[in-house]
Amino acid sequence: MSLTIDELNDTLGRGAGPELATQIAARLDPAAPADWRNLAAVLAARGRVGVTGISGAQGSGKSTLAQLLVAADELAGASAAGCSLDDFYLTHEERGALGRTVHPLLATRGVPGTHDVRLAMGTLDGLARAQTTRIPVFDKGRDDRLPVDAWEAVTGPVSRVVFEGWCLGATPQPAESLTTPINQLEAGEDADGSWRRYVNGALAERYLALWERVDYLVYLQVPDFAAVARWRGQAEGQLPLARQMDRAALSRFLAHYERLTRWMLETLPQRADLVVKLDPDHTLASISAD
């Protein structure tokens, strides 16, 4: 199933009208799925400004939608820039220090507490000003941030910043929810709960201020966590063989994110401005706007 521009406009409001959205969608990358092109075109035609956040579990399509939305904004005559929460990971050395001094699991990038939140806030703020701002670039192959001279330079202010991230918009869990391990990783490697308490505390103490910079939040709601594992496995199969994880390694990797992914499935649909529900085949099932 794919959602047409008319169907999307019926939910989001007519905005600039379907004509502009149709023109934009026709000029977006034809290799991208039609429903994703339509959604990006409709959002661009509505002319929203500021920071648009795109949140969703691994494999949900955040990067695809973010890239299409930046391109659609430019086709609509607006300036836009994109950045990912992934590019604000702490350096390999900084995460190694966390792993040694706080908990070994913090050496693995991904969960709250492994990002440079101050750098992320400064970057978003800079893109809204009349200045040149450098957007960090994180090399996942090296598991480290590239040197500053390799970062993307963007001259602002830009009309829209598209900011995507798997845990974007997440709120802390109640303390009592952290008591029982949710999977084998937590039971075996975080038996005392210190890792998950640190992650939860980081959300409360640092990340909420970053989320406040998001003016409009889009949540890509996956059907369930099983779909995350399936889609992430499909994406893994497209990587060079030397970089692919086997099934056991992938399962352990995803276990780092399971708790917060499930919590977001419970809570984020009530908080997001736009909820995009995904079918098991990765097409758009429906959308609902606040």
Q: Which domains does the chain have, with CATH numbers?
A: 5-289 (3.40.50.300)
Residues in the chain: 290
Higher pLDDT, 249 or 52: 52
User: Among residues 154, 150, 151, which one has the least CA distance to residue 130?
Assistant: 154
Q: How confident is the model at residue 246, as a pLDDT?
A: 84
Residue 141: band (very low, low, confident or very high) from pLDDT cuts 50, 70, 90: confident
Report whether pLDDT(13) > 80: no
Range of weakest confidence among 71-75, 150-154, 168-172, 281-285: 281-285
Please answer whether residues 64 and 32 qualify as being in contact, where contact means their C-beta atoms are separated by less than 8 angstroms.
yes
Ordered DSSP codes for 141-204: TTTEEPPGGGSEEEES--SEEEEEETTTT--PPPGGGGSS--SHHHHHH-TTSHHHHHHHHHII
Q: What is the pLDDT of residues 24-49, one digit of tens each?
A: 999 999 999 999 999 999 999 988 77
Range of weakest confidence among 2-16, 44-58, 219-233: 2-16
Range of weakest confidence among 35-44, 57-66, 194-203, 232-241: 232-241
Q: How confident is the model at residue 232, as a pLDDT?
A: 83
Single-letter code of the amino acid located at 33: P
pTM, to two decimals: 0.95
Q: Which residues contact 198 (CB under 8 A, 6 or more apart)?
A: 102, 103, 106, 113
112: preceding bond cis by omega (within 30 degrees): no
Residue 240: band (very low, low, confident or very high) from pLDDT cuts 50, 70, 90: confident
